[in-house]
Structure 1
Amino acid sequence: DLYTEHLKGFDVVNAKRANRRGESVIKRGTAKLYYRLLKRIVPFEIPLDTGDFRLISKKVVDALNTMPEQNRYLRGQIAWMGYKTSSIIYERDSRKRGESGYTYGKMFKLAVDGITGFSDRPLWLVSRMGFIIALLSFLFIIYAIFAHFIMEQTITGWTSIIVSATFLGGIQLFSIGIIGEYIARINANVKQRPMYMVESSNIESVKTKKIRS
């Protein structure tokens, strides 16, 4: 019971699915893959196999209202706050009537919101990949020069052109990654998320005592 768990001192009580009855193999597989991927690339813990159905305290609601961002990803925002969290596992039956209106397109948008809203790891991967490609290409260019002047073995064919193009491509990827890092910081400031979440405070009680005295 969600409320019973809440009375134990938890501000967030998730309803965690024990299964996904009634869903296709593709939907179950992509959902499982997405949540595992998201768990690895975000810097905080997001509960697995948990949707948006949960109990949250007024404290969490007030904190949510301080986050004015437009593309809301509630399960990520609530987990990001870091309040005391618990989960209740339940058996979800298959849908009795009708069909889900949550299409694959909506699922894809939700996945993009979750990744781009809470992780800059894709930008990190792009910049690192560009750096590695450029470095390997540069080392091959050094080898080609060494082979030509020292070993007197000229590398013929399209190899030099391909390596040069790969080197420039790596530099471009690396540059895009650096630009992306700056954009990620701009994006973080635009969201205007609070820097800290206060779990409890006695400021009001202190003010009251001063007024009474």
Structure 2
Amino acid sequence: MKSITILVPVYNEESVLPQLFDRLDDVAKNTPNYKFEFLFINDGSVDESLYIIADQAQKDTRISYINLSRNFGKEIAMLAGIDHAEGDAAVIIDADLQDPPELIKEMIAYWEDGYDDVYARRSSRQGETWLKKKTSQWYYRILQKSTSIPIQVDTGDFRLLDQRCVEALRQFRESQRNTKAIFSWIGYRKKEIFYDRDPRLAGQTKWNYRKLINLAIDGVTSFTTAPLRMATIFGFIISFVAFCWIIYLLVRPLFGVSTGAGYSSLMAVILFLGGVQLLSLGIIGEYVGRIFIETKNQPLYLIEEYHAGNRKKTRR
């Protein structure tokens, strides 16, 4: 009997966990030919999430959980789950039930057909503002334009991964991660399925615009050097225009054209070039900062408590 590990990163989801347990149990009952494990990764929750998971684990031996020592962020929490996934396939799903667990059965069917990465693409996103939808769309378009690797557009982390995909993901140990881009990078046979994303069942979203902007910057700078290339091209264009302008200034007195005071135009050019230089330095600084962080070789996460459920072995 093949085994499926369902990875559920959790951060302050006490209000939705009881419904999640019920729906995951229904998925297992409706897919009787597979052995399921539900692996919860508690990412430093400050509510009762950990206690609810631990209590349910005492009643259901299929439940394992990892309690991280603090909040490391969803990307690192997913990596912790991937490091500990032991099934023949792993499914990543959020705890807020915006992604329907009932879709897992269809994912398994495509996996049995030979696909290694069965990912769910959102055809609609209920409960989200127009601005959030558009900025997400723009982000995926920018990321796609900046790399030659095909990026799955309008796709989250909800997917089924074959064991060899899981093994490939474990090799990526950078601390500032964009797992969505890494899913595309590793390749393998992929299958897209569509679904309507439900509004959050309970609780509040943990993603404000500041966190989303940071995630977008991490995604671009950790996956491509296109911003550095753009800064180089932009600098070349400005230098060329400035050179042409200098030639013009040198030549026009020969034709009797007065140069004039030019204070306003001079200040405008200086401020514009200064802004471009600061922008370019900021882009370079982002990459240098990442080099500094990665060379420290810090552990990506620390585990405070690990409950293995009915596992025979553990992975660290």
TM-score, length of structure 1 as denominator length: 0.75
Q: Does 1:151 align with 2:258?
A: no
Q: CA deviation at 1:133?
A: 1.3
The whole-number CA distance in structure 1 between the counterparts of 2:124 and 2:115 is 24
In structure 1, what residue type is equivalent to 2:115?
Answer: F
Q: CA deviation at 1:176?
A: 5.0
SS in 2 for 1:117: helix
Q: Does 1:122 align with 2:213?
A: no
Closer/same/farther in 2, CA of residues 98 and 124 from structure 1, 3 Å limit: same
Q: Does 1:19 align with 2:159?
A: no
| Correspondence for 1:97 | 202
- Higher fraction of helix: 1
Q: CA deviation at 1:54?
A: 0.6
RMSD: 3.0
The whole-number CA distance in structure 2 between the counterparts of 1:58 and 1:72 is 20
Closer/same/farther in 2, CA of residues 139 and 72 from structure 1, 3 Å limit: same
In structure 2, what residue type is equivalent to 1:151?
Answer: F
Conserved 8 A contact 1:129-1:173: no
Q: CA deviation at 1:167?
A: 9.5
The whole-number CA distance in structure 2 between the counterparts of 1:130 and 1:141 is 16
Conserved 8 A contact 1:130-1:173: no
Closer/same/farther in 2, CA of residues 167 and 132 from structure 1, 3 Å limit: farther
| Correspondence for 1:39 | 144
The whole-number CA distance in structure 1 between the counterparts of 2:137 and 2:276 is 35
> How many residues matched?
185
The whole-number CA distance in structure 1 between the counterparts of 2:131 and 2:279 is 35
Q: CA deviation at 1:125?
A: 1.6
Closer/same/farther in 2, CA of residues 114 and 175 from structure 1, 3 Å limit: closer
Q: CA deviation at 1:115?
A: 0.8
Superposition pairs for residues 160-175 of structure 1, below 5 Å? Answer: 161-162=266-267, 165=270, 169=274, 172=277
Q: How far does the alpha carbon of each residue in 1:174-200 deviate from its partner, in whole angstroms, 9 at most, with x for none?
A: 9859x949x57x95xx69xxxxxxxxx
Structure 2, unmatched stretches of 5+, are 1-105, 296-316
Residue from 106, 109, 112 that aligns with 1:7: 112
The whole-number CA distance in structure 2 between the counterparts of 1:32 and 1:132 is 29
Closer/same/farther in 2, CA of residues 114 and 171 from structure 1, 3 Å limit: closer
Q: CA deviation at 1:50?
A: 0.6
SS in 2 for 1:18: strand
In structure 2, what residue type is equivalent to 1:154?
Answer: S
Q: How far does the alpha carbon of each residue in 1:6-53 deviate from its partner, in whole angstroms, 9 at most, with x for none?
A: 122211110111110111222112112211222211221111111011
Q: How far does the alpha carbon of each residue in 1:115-154 deviate from its partner, in whole angstroms, 9 at most, with x for none?
A: 1111222222222112211211111111111112x31323
SS in 1 for 2:197: coil
Residue from 59, 81, 96 that aligns with 2:164: 59
Q: CA deviation at 1:91?
A: 1.9
The whole-number CA distance in structure 2 between the counterparts of 1:151 and 1:170 is 34
Conserved 8 A contact 1:22-1:94: yes
TM-score, length of structure 2 as denominator length: 0.52
Q: CA deviation at 1:113?
A: 1.3
- Higher fraction of strand: 2
The whole-number CA distance in structure 2 between the counterparts of 1:146 and 1:139 is 11
In structure 1, what residue type is equivalent to 2:262?
Answer: W
